[in-house]
Amino acid sequence: MFAWLRKPNGSLIFWATSIFLLMPLLASCSPNANAKIISPSLGALEVQEIESGFVEAAATAVPLTLADFEGADQISGLPEGVAAAMASADLRRGQTLHTTQACVGCHMLEPGIVATGPTWDNLGNTAAQRTAVTADASPGLYLYDSIANPNVYIVPGYNSGVMPGDYSDKLSDQDFADLIAFILSQTGS
């Protein structure tokens, strides 16, 4: 065992020299805590550093949740008939519509299941976050727009033109209200 250590044939010298010469290369692979990380705001941060000598980074924004929208703010901006129907929205009926209108074929309620359409798991909170991206006034309006005009905002990773665009003709104001109320109730486990 380890016969190469006992032989004076130079292999030990070769390996020792190789390791010694590779040490600077290995040391250069260690992370630099002061290195600038590439980000969309790197240019602005460099300008700020040049002008002032230091950089003041903004805190990472905490994502919105449905709880950040109080009562009527959750559904502001909805069409008048749908907004009025929200007062008597029925979650059970919304869940039934999820099945009878074939939403269940593309939108799963369970986390981690990939389907043709985005998951509805935690969609109440996700809708709250998307209001900033889509410029909708409320999570309820985001959901209404996503059902009535499904190709206006496409969730990244999904294709346009897959969801039928005729739900505004098929669903009544009460149907919309029940379905939106049901989806808003999906706030994760």
All domains of the chain, ordered by start, with CATH? 66-184 (1.10.760.10)
The answer to pTM > 0.85 is no
Which pLDDT belongs to residue 82?
A: 97
Query: Greatest CA span in the chain, whole angstroms?
Result: 93
37, 38, 50, 105, 178 from 32: Cα distances, Å: 10, 13, 21, 49, 54
| Max mean pLDDT range (7-21, 31-45, 63-77, 107-121) | 107-121
CB neighbours of residue 164 within 10 Å: 12
| Max mean pLDDT range (24-33, 37-46, 101-110) | 101-110
Q: What is the spatial distance between Cα 149 and Cα 168, in angstroms, rounded to a whole number?
A: 8
Q: Is the pLDDT of residue 33 over 80?
A: no
Q: Is the pLDDT of residue 189 over 60?
A: no
pLDDT band of 112, cuts 50, 70, 90? confident
The 8-class DSSP code of residue 36 comes to P
- What's the helix, strand, coil split of the chain in %, to 5? 55, 0, 45
Higher pLDDT, 181 or 113: 181
- Residues with Cβ within 8 Å of 49's Cβ and at least 6 positions away in sequence, in order, are 55
CA-nearest of 187, 178, 188 to 96 is: 178
